[in-house]
């Protein structure tokens, strides 16, 4: 994926009143900063500021952008059109789709961007293409293919004068190849100083993500690769599918964790002040099956595209399990925003710890087990008791707010206000000290919003607030 510096901007504005949806959904669980950072889910190209996901308008919550099999999507803006490229399918090495905007409508073309593979490559396993624009206006395609010499997956390069291709393979051997070890998921990155890089995944469970400097035309390697990320203990199976962008002065590395045909496949991110790292991983997935109200399974293979005003995250989700490691993966497009440098995807939950907000007339209780963040807001039992958190919305619209609470006695209630608007009663049924969730739908403006929970009656302890 290729990125040029983007003008980051997200205008916020119209204050929306709260949509009073009081039919709370209750689920059970175990047992102030000025602006608390979200603990959920993040390009080197300047990206816009944060937004999170409503349930109306175009976006993943309304279904896939392409419902046919279109895995590992890569999206490129060329002129006034958008082009998407995918892993081999339907007899095409690199299928292509086209749309007038990042949000669609998307339709598959008859084109195969790479109709002829190089002599070193076998047919049938052409994966995860990446297309970028070079400084001379031509197009560079990186692709994964199986080597005839050894059977391992390797990375090749091809060029074309049109985003539709046909791309012509360059060189007589792979650009990156390691005998008996798979090298997959290439992604181009152009830094703000014009330096060009190639990212890729190499090895299995004990492999990692690598960064390699290239020549300006992207066809030769410069120096040695640097391993910039490995799988963490809390991540499933393996990591793959790197995509790098630069937001402000921070490098944000998106990647997938898990195996693509399983429901625990997920999208995560890590950040660094230097392109070579060290990269610090976010504590929670950016996208997972638990997000989007569990309507998208195994979201991964993400790419980032900027339309000149807004940013979007493009990814695949499992639309159908076909048995074994065979799945049909549809393409989704979600709005992407940046909350003080933290990526926020509209529709995917972002968690805000209540104890990190502004707390009055209550106390922060440290809890060893069963509580997110290790603390909760307690003793909200007087007329002055309230907690405020600042939450980010990528676009103006309706959002789902989930409040995790516990109480030991009778029912309790808080008055919820958004940006000082009309209050809505949030009721907390007695939970016998166990953690439960209440969900309320609210209207948020684009950018930062203030959610205030003030005691009405009873004593409900607060763990966190999630917005999706």
- The set of catalytic residues is 72, 240
Q: Give me the sheet containing 121-133, strands edge to edge.
A: 121-133, 139-147, 153-160, 168-170
Pick from 419, 369, 394, 317: nearest CA to 58: 394
Q: How far apart are CA 39 and CA 196, in angstroms?
A: 31
* DSSP at 36: P
Neighbours of 384 (CB within 10 A): 10
Q: How far apart are CA 354 and CA 356, in angstroms?
A: 5
Q: How far apart are CA 301 and CA 299, in angstroms?
A: 7
**How is 372-405 classified by DSSP, letter by letter?**
GGGEEEE---STT-EEEEEEEESSSEEEEEEEEE
Please, which residues have CB within 8 angstroms of residue 435's CB and are 6 or more apart in sequence? Answer: 28, 29, 30, 31, 370, 371, 404, 405, 406, 463
Please answer whether residues 351 and 464 qualify as being in contact, where contact means their C-beta atoms are separated by less than 8 angstroms. Answer: yes
Q: What b/e readout covers 169-194, taking b as 16+ CB neighbours within 10 angstroms?
A: bbeeebbbbbeeebbbbbbbbbbeee
Q: How far apart are CA 316 and CA 463, in angstroms?
A: 32
Q: Which two tokens stand for residue 408?
A: 């030991």
Q: Which two tokens stand for residue 433?
A: 């000290």
Residue carrying the six token digits 């190639």: 198
Strands 139-147 and 153-160: antiparallel
Nearest-10 Cα torsion for 226, 229, 233, 235: -140
Q: What does residue 128 show for φ and ψ, rounded to 5 degrees?
A: 40, 65
Please answer whether residues 53 and 39 qualify as being in contact, where contact means their C-beta atoms are separated by less than 8 angstroms. Answer: no
Chain center to CA of 413: 34
């Amino acid at each position: 994926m290729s990125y040029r510096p983007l003008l980051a901007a997200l205008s916020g504005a119209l204050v929306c009143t709260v949509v009073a949806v009081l039919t709370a959904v209750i689920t059970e669980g175990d047992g102030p900063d000025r602006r608390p950072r979200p603990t959920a889910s993040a390009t080197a190209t300047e990206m816009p500021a944060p937004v999170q996901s409503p349930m109306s308008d175009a976006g993943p919550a309304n279904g896939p952008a392409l419902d046919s099999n279109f895995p590992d999507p890569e999206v490129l803006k060329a002129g006034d059109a958008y082009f998407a490229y995918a892993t081999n399918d339907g007899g095409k090495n690199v299928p292509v789709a086209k749309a007038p905007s990042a949000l669609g409508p998307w339709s598959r073309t008859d084109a195969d961007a790479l109709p002829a593979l190089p002599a070193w490559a076998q047919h049938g396993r052409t994966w995860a293409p990446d297309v970028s624009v070079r400084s001379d206006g031509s197009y560079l395609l990186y692709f994964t293919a199986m080597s005839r010499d050894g059977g391992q997956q390797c990375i090749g390069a091809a060029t074309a004068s049109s985003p539709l291709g046909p791309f012509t393979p360059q060189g007589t051997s792979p650009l990156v190849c390691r005998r008996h070890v798979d090298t997959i998921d290439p992604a181009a990155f152009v830094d703000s100083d014009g330096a060009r890089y190639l990212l890729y995944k190499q090895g299995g469970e004990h492999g990692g993500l690598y960064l390699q400097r290239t020549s300006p035309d992207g066809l030769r390697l410069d120096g040695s690769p640097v391993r910039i990320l490995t799988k963490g203990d809390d991540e499933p199976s393996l990591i793959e599918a790197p995509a790098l962008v630069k937001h402000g002065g921070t490098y944000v590395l998106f990647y997938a964790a898990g195996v693509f045909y399983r429901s625990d496949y997920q999208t995560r991110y890590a950040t660094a002040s230097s392109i070579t790292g060290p990269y610090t991983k976010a504590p929670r997935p950016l996208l997972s099956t638990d997000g989007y109200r569990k309507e998208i399974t195994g979201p991964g293979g993400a790419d980032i595209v900027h339309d000149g005003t807004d940013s979007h995250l493009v990814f695949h989700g499992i639309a159908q399990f076909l048995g074994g490691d065979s799945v049909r993966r549809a393409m989704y497009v979600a709005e992407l925003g940046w909350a003080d440098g933290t990526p926020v995807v509209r529709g995917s939950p972002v968690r805000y710890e209540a104890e990190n907000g502004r707390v009055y007339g209550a106390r922060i209780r440290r809890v060893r087990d069963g509580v997110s963040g290790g603390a909760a807001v307690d003793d909200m039992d007087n007329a002055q008791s309230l907690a405020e958190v600042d939450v980010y919305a990528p676009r103006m619209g309706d959002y789902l707010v989930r409040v995790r609470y516990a109480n030991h006695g009778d029912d309790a209630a808080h008055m919820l206000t958004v940006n000082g608007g009309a209050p809505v009663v949030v009721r907390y049924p007695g939970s016998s000290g166990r953690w439960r969730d209440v969900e309320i739908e609210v209207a948020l403006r684009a950018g930062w919003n203030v959610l205030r929970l003030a005691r009405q009656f009873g004593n409900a302890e607060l763990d966190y607030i999630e917005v999706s």
